[in-house]
């Protein structure tokens, strides 16, 4: 009886070890799945960001260039930088007020961090005028003064699953469908 019980005990220990191994593998798969899901939740489609910029820009402001600013390395004693980085928008506006209105409008966007959206430079310059004809007379044309600006902002770190309505309105259907599928499965919370 004793030998039989020891044999049964040994068999149960092997089964317990197998169960623990399966639990570890399951936990590892859950972590990998969560890491993959977090990638989808961090995506900021440029098409949606650019559409949002287009919707917010006043008619009297032009964008000349948009540059992506890579995330900076963390510094000691400072909060961790935004992993999404930021943007630098440069262009021309009719007046300082128009450029300020554009910046305030960007602060209302859920795609940007309001507290980190600011005007870096704004100065009056002569408007770049391109004449499409050659004149034989010496007519002097004075270019009007316009505001040349640079605005910087950090991209929002709000998860994409919380921006579904905004992404849908901006036409980012593919990402929205993926997120909704993951919510139905239960991988991402609604």
Higher confidence at residue 74 or residue 45? 45
Of the pLDDT bands very low, low, confident and very high (cuts 50, 70, 90), residue 137 is low
Alpha carbon separation from 6 to 3, 10, 19, 20, 164 (Å, rounded): 5, 6, 20, 21, 59
How far apart are the C-alpha atoms of 42 and 161, rounded to whole Å?
9
For the cut 60, the answer to whether the pLDDT of residue 79 exceeds it is no
For the chain, what percent of residues have pLDDT higher than 70? 85
pLDDT given for residue 36 in this prediction? 79
pLDDT given for residue 170 in this prediction? 83
CB 155 within 8 A of CB 111: yes
pLDDT given for residue 176 in this prediction? 83
Of the pLDDT bands very low, low, confident and very high (cuts 50, 70, 90), residue 123 is very high
How far apart are the C-alpha atoms of 39 and 76, rounded to whole Å?
26
CB 86 within 8 A of CB 154: yes
- For residue 181, give the H/E element and its range: helix 173-185
How far apart are the C-alpha atoms of 11 and 5, rounded to whole Å?
10
pLDDT given for residue 152 in this prediction? 94
For the segment 154-183, the average pLDDT, to the nearest whole number, is: 83
Q: Categorise residue 25: left if φ over 0, alpha if ψ from -120 to 50, beta otherwise.
A: alpha
For the cut 80, the answer to whether the pLDDT of residue 142 exceeds it is no
How far apart are the C-alpha atoms of 89 and 66, rounded to whole Å?
5
φ, ψ of residue 30 to 5 degrees: the values are -60, -40
For the cut 70, the answer to whether the pLDDT of residue 72 exceeds it is no
pLDDT given for residue 78 in this prediction? 56
φ, ψ of residue 126 to 5 degrees: the values are -70, 135
pLDDT given for residue 75 in this prediction? 58
Task: Calculate the average pLDDT of the chain.
Answer: 84
């Amino acid at each position: 009886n004793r030998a039989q019980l020891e044999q049964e005990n040994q068999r149960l220990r092997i089964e317990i070890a197998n169960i623990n191994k399966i639990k570890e593998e399951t936990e590892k798969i859950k972590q990998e799945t969560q890491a993959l899901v977090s990638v989808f939740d961090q995506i900021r489609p440029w098409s949606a960001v650019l559409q949002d910029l287009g919707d917010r820009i006043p008619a009297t402001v032009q964008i000349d260039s948009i540059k992506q600013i890579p995330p900076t390395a963390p510094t000691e004693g400072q909060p961790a930088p935004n992993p999404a980085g930021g943007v630098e928008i440069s262009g021309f506006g009719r007046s300082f007020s128009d450029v300020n209105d554009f910046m305030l409008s960007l602060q209302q966007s859920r795609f940007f961090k309001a507290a980190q959206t600011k005007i870096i430079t704004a100065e009056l310059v002569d408007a770049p005028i391109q004449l499409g004809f050659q004149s034989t007379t010496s007519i002097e044309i004075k270019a009007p003064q316009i505001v040349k600006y640079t605005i910087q902002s950090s991209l929002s770190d709000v998860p994409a699953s919380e921006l579904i309505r905004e992404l849908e309105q901006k036409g980012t259907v593919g990402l929205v469908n993926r997120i909704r599928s993951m919510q139905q499965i239960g991988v991402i919370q609604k």
